[in-house]
């Protein structure tokens, strides 16, 4: 493996995040703080606890997951789309570096940025609510696997998109709505039976539920089902990326 090439891509992408701190770090933290203020005032006054957990603490895993999913997709998609947009992607493809190393550099940087942001938001949440993480190892496992999986998805979107509008299409119209409807701010047990069944068809439910379990030991679905769902996402994303590089889809002029 050409570790120097992977490191070069990784360092360049991480440095780009450092040059855009307002967009990559400060903006998501401010948005999360606003969620706490708005939901805490509007809903927290009416719902004191959910399954024995204060409402403010209950929504923390959902807020982290919301930012984690959207930022993982956005970081990875823009990271690979910009070289395509400027034409420098052909320099990368013609360099003595394998497809695996290209993916490792771009996706590794996107996942790292998203995981760091998730931890920063977790730290920010401590200013609003009192948090106790029951399963810290599983919390980190869910955090890293989710960041990696959705960074792979973002990489696919970046290859597929041929305009900045398409780059934002999936995060805005699919990822964000699925996260809001995936139990980020409520337990699906609070829904009528019919809507519970509908909600369980949303794959993001399993990610949010598993992540919340790592905090409080409560979940809407089994932890095994959550891990299986992440594994399925990961396998499908890897398969699609493998197909993209085998066929040259959207990579060749």
pLDDT of 206 above 90: yes
Q: Which of 215, 222, 184 is CA-nearest to residue 53?
A: 215
What pLDDT, in 10s, does the model give residues 106-129? 999 999 999 999 998 898 888 888
Assigned domain for 8 exists:
yes
What pLDDT, in 10s, does the model give residues 38-96? 776 666 666 777 788 888 888 889 989 998 999 899 999 998 998 888 877 777 877 78
Instruction: Count the residues in the chain.
Output: 253
Output the pLDDT for position 41: 62
Task: Give the count of domains, the chain.
Answer: 1
Q: Which of 182-191, 194-203, 243-252 has the lowest mean pLDDT?
A: 243-252
> DSSP state, 175?
I
Number of H helices, E strands in the chain: 13, 2
Assigned domain for 166 exists:
yes
Contact 120, 67 (CB under 8 A): no
pLDDT of 175 above 80: yes
- pLDDT-derived band at 252 (thresholds 50, 70, 90) equals low
Assigned domain for 234 exists:
yes
Assigned domain for 252 exists:
no
Domain extent, residue 130, equals 3-247
Output the pLDDT for position 76: 92
Query: 156 Cβ partners below 8 Å, 6+ apart?
Result: 237, 240, 241, 244
pLDDT of 219 above 70: yes
Assigned domain for 49 exists:
yes
pLDDT of 228 above 90: yes
Compute the distance between CA of residue 48 and CA of residue 206 in angstroms, rounded to an integer.
24
Assigned domain for 253 exists:
no
What pLDDT, in 10s, does the model give residues 157-174? 999 988 888 888 888 889
Query: 80 Cβ partners below 8 Å, 6+ apart?
Result: 89, 106, 155, 158, 159
Query: What is the β-pairing status of strands 49-50 and 53-54?
Result: antiparallel
Neighbours of 238 (CB within 10 A): 13
């Amino acid at each position: 493996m050409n570790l120097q090439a992977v490191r070069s891509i990784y360092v360049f992408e991480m440095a780009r995040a450092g040059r855009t701190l307002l967009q990559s770090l400060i903006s998501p933290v401010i948005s999360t703080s606003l969620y706490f203020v708005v939901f805490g005032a509007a809903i927290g006054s009416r719902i004191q606890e959910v399954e024995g957990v204060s409402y403010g603490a209950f929504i923390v895993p959902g807020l982290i997951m919301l930012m984690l999913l959207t930022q993982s997709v956005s970081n990875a998609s823009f990271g690979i789309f910009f070289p395509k947009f400027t034409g420098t992607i052909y320099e990368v493809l013609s360099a003595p570096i394998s497809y695996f190393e290209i993916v490792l550099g771009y996706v590794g940087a996107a996942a790292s940025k998203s995981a760091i942001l998730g931890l920063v938001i977790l730290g920010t949440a401590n200013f609003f609510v009192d948090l106790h993480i029951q399963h810290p190892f599983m919390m980190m496992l869910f955090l890293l696997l989710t960041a990696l999986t959705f960074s792979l998805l973002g990489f696919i979107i970046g290859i597929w998109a041929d305009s900045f509008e398409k780059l934002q299409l999936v995060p805005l119209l699919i990822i964000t709505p699925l996260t809001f409807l995936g139990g980020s701010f409520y337990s699906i047990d609070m829904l009528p039976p019919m809507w519970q069944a509908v909600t369980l068809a949303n794959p993001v439910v399993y990610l949010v539920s598993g992540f919340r379990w790592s905090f409080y030991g409560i979940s809407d679905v089994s932890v095994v089902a959550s891990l299986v769902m992440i594994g399925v996402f990961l396998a499908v994303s890897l398969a699609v990326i493998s197909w993209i590089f085998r066929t040259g889809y959207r990579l060749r002029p």
